[in-house]
Amino acid sequence: MATVCVPVCVRHPDELPGALDAAAAVADLVEVRADCLTIVDSMQLLRLFNAIKRPLIVTLRSSEEGGRNPHDLESRRRFWKDLSGLAAENFIDLELDLVDEFSGADAGTLPVEWRRVICSHHDFDRVPDNLDQIFDRMAATPAGVIKIAVTARDAIDCLPVFGLLDRAQRDGRQLLAIAMGQAGLMTRILGPARGAFLTYGSISEGRGTAPGQVTMAELQELYRIDRIDRETRIFGIIGQPVGHSLSPHIHNASFAALGLNAVFIPFEVGDAVSFMRRMVHPAKRELDWRLGGLSVTAPHKSTVIAELDWIDPACLEIGAVNTIVVRDQELHGYNTDAAGFIAPLRRALGPLKDARCAVVGAGGAARACVWALKQEDASTAIFARDQGQAEFLAQTFKVRAESFPAASFNGFDIVINATPLGTHGSRADESIANAQQLAGVRLAYDLVYNPSETKFLREARAAGCKVLDGMEMLLEQGIEQFKLWTGTQPDIEVMRSMAARKLRS
């Protein structure tokens, strides 16, 4: 069973009792971030802490290590001396400088149960090169638990963190090791199964106390952290960015529905080649984990091809891989985007032979669309802002390239948005075309699935077009991926329900 600690960070002392009660109701441990308080009354806090019927971690973080309000060395000393009467079942979190001082031969008297002390170190900029030396120094103290939190900029930055957890297991030391930031998410999810003392989960969205901290509900319901062990099969999506992806929600829901010991994690990957070599390939990787396969999204669908041992011939024609399966000591590559794209289109319009199709975009998704349309004998034209890319793709698939933005899509039966325009966030107000340009088009198909109603689809409705959003493609290609990874057919309604629930939230 994973131990999940919920941190409490409030500004006003009057907010603290209610916040502690709410956290204690769901958490295994509650961390009180006393440095968040604008007024710190040590004796009042001591009485409150000793009345809570749940183990606490009490923290007064220094400004240098992420404290919310400034506390110099002397104020931190006084705080801990005032809290010397803290109940024995609670933990105190001390930075290394205070651990050294309070444990030194000439430190004076601070009655402390050292096995309940967490000696902590934080780096909010990077993963330092001397991580092993930092661990050695902390391990030389009498503290019962070591905490090291560093910042990951890429998924491969998690390797030294997992290495520390393995070392702590061998040395018999209690270690809490976390890589902060989106790129470090896997350490929060997989850490407890690899010996981490605990992991952190915020009480709700936006209430986290460190970069990359997910909610308690996500840890328990989405990732099923209490069921993860060293035998859990691990799957994930690699890309940059991946935080918006619905894939963890649809695949984890499917694993749960089928009772599979598996988890799906988003991996923020900038350097795909290093990630594939150091963390994925069974013959080369530096991490001992039961990785079963990956979904691949932008910008890595072409980059990963060179790192694979076997590739489905369709992938070579498309020029993109979106699914990797680990088979024995090899990596096999597939493309489920094409099948996922074409199935909803066939359901909507029937046979596509000679259908006049405009594909807007020239990336990996567009390549899959054009390839699939060619298999259907549709008549296809490519539109892209970069005319050179459009012409290159057109030559590759022996179709025609058109200038973009087009004055009109009149004359086309189907217009497909294979660009990120319209995606939730900074591009939500953008569209590849307006209603006037779409006049006369039979169907508008947007591969963007978040939001479900994009500006492009609103313009298409205004023009009288039938519309198709990207959710069905996401689900169809996800089903094909799931079958490749597990050999099992997932329930599409489970996937659809979870995706809709996430989008509503």
The per-residue pLDDT for range 236-285, each reduced to its tens digit, is: 999 998 988 899 999 999 999 999 999 999 999 999 999 999 999 999 99
pLDDT class for 109, splitting at 50, 70, 90? low
Segment 382-389 shows an average pLDDT of 91
Tokens representing 327 are 């088979």
- What's the angle, vertex CA 446, arms to CA 305 and CA 464, rounded to 5? 155
- Taking the whole predicted model, whether its pTM rises above 0.75 is answered as yes
CATH of 236-335+476-504, one of 3.40.50.10860, 2.40.50.140, 1.20.1260.10, 3.10.290.10: 3.40.50.10860
Tokens representing 334 are 């597939």
- What's the angle, vertex CA 478, arms to CA 322 and CA 154, rounded to 5? 50
CATH of 338-469, one of 3.40.50.720, 3.10.330.20, 2.60.120.560, 3.10.129.10: 3.40.50.720
**């591009």: which residue's tokens?**
427
Catalytic residues: 301
399 contacts 381 by C-beta, under 8 angstroms: yes
Q: What is the pLDDT of residue 96?
A: 92
pLDDT at 105 over 70: no
Same fold, 4-222 and 236-335+476-504: no
Segment 306-327 shows an average pLDDT of 96
DSSP3 helix / strand / coil % (the chain, rounded to 5): 40, 20, 40
112 contacts 92 by C-beta, under 8 angstroms: yes
Segment 220-246 shows an average pLDDT of 95
465 contacts 444 by C-beta, under 8 angstroms: yes
215 contacts 4 by C-beta, under 8 angstroms: no
Backbone region of residue 440 per phi and psi (left: phi > 0; alpha: psi in -120 to 50; beta: other values): left
pLDDT class for 106, splitting at 50, 70, 90? low
The domain spans of the chain are 4-222, 236-335+476-504, 338-469
Main-chain phi, psi angles of 495, to 5 degrees: -60, -50
Q: How many CB atoms lie within 10 A of CB 386?
A: 11
pLDDT at 212 over 70: yes
Query: Given this structure, which CATH class describes domain 4-222?
Result: alpha beta
pLDDT class for 64, splitting at 50, 70, 90? confident
Strand 379-383 to strand 356-360: parallel, antiparallel, or no bridges (unpaired)? parallel
pLDDT at 104 over 80: no
Report the C-alpha gap between 505 and 498 in whole angstroms: 11
Query: 313 by DSSP, 3-state: which?
Result: helix
**């046979």: which residue's tokens?**
351
- What's the angle, vertex CA 39, arms to CA 36 and CA 41, rounded to 5? 110
Report the C-alpha gap between 164 and 7 in whole angstroms: 24
pLDDT at 206 over 90: no
Q: Which residues contact 210 (CB under 8 A, 6 or more apart)?
A: 66, 149, 178, 180, 200
360 contacts 415 by C-beta, under 8 angstroms: yes
Q: What is the pLDDT of residue 427?
A: 87
- What's the angle, vertex CA 213, arms to CA 209 and CA 217, rounded to 5? 110
Q: What is the pLDDT of residue 452?
A: 87
Segment 7-33 shows an average pLDDT of 93
Q: Let me know how many helices (H) and strands (E) the chain has, helices first.
A: 17, 20
Report the C-alpha gap between 504 and 183 in whole angstroms: 25
